[in-house]
Structure 1
Amino acid sequence: MNLSVKKLFNFFLILFVVACGGGGGGGNSVEPQSNNPISPYASSQATQDTVQNQTQYVSGKVIDDYISGATVFIDTNGNETLDEDEPSTISDNFGNYSLPFAVGRLISIGGIDIGTQQPVDGLSLSAPMEEYTETKMITPVTSLLATEAEEAEIKEALGIPE
């Protein structure tokens, strides 16, 4: 098979698997946890979305194969750094995470690739969090889409045609 056909096939296979999501099944929900003293429940009142004094949570998976032990947080101020007032957690052994919703950018840093059991220290994945959604996957595809959206906004602001 031609190399480009293989790449195209693999791309669509990955896209299909990511689109499947993984929902289903009852069972345990992931409780937010943190590997640092920052509370996973910390968030400013302006960005935290509450309904009848109950915090809404966003849950999902970190996928580039599944990534366990990744630091997952919502970057509410755009500095791409976990700050004290930003919600954060650590992905579990299956790549699952759950944390309080806030508007910003969902970022996953580091962790261990479950398939290879190798650390992925330099891996940073992201997904936009512009409005509440119960489930949000963090994948290379969501990272690419988030980057392209930013480039389009910059071009528009500078008056550069796309």
Structure 2
Amino acid sequence: MKRWGIVLLFISTSVFAEQIQWEQLPSSTKAVLANMETSWSSLAPERQQNLINLAEKYLAMTPQQQQEMADRFNRWQTLSETERANLRERYQAFQALPEEEKAIIRQRFKWYETLPEDDKKKLVDSWNAMPKDEQDQARERMRHSTLEQRRAFREELLRRKANNR
């Protein structure tokens, strides 16, 4: 019974967490979260703590990492609520995958990131030019294909783009 009391105490303290006052924040954290100052008191304590944690991570980053994070944040801000919801769903679906599938996806993304910008644009343009049903078929085909088959498909997409010019 004693254990339940500890669990309930833990739950009650996390549910009824207190607001963190802006004035209590270190100046370095305030500098990172400056655009949140006016709305800070209206945020839920859990949200405040998440932002503080994010600010601490940001402060520990290199200047290049900070710039990349700022760029990602700015891109996120430009998305519509529908696009954000779609990305959240895709992220949750990715998190639910087995580790080996995640590793394959990361490997494919790493390969994509090594492409020259021009080739990336050609791939994206070719993909976007495909009808949705063809995209769905290609996704399924890629999911069950070898590395060499995927490479051949990408080359085909690049050829299509070159021929459509």
- Structure number with greater Rg is 2
Write 1 or 2 for the structure with the bigger share of helix. Answer: 2
Same fold (TM over 0.5): no
* TM-score, normalised with respect to structure 2: 0.23
Write 1 or 2 for the structure with the bigger share of strand. Answer: 1
Which structure has more RCO (C-alpha within 8 Å, separation ≥ 6)? 1
* TM-score, normalised with respect to structure 1: 0.23
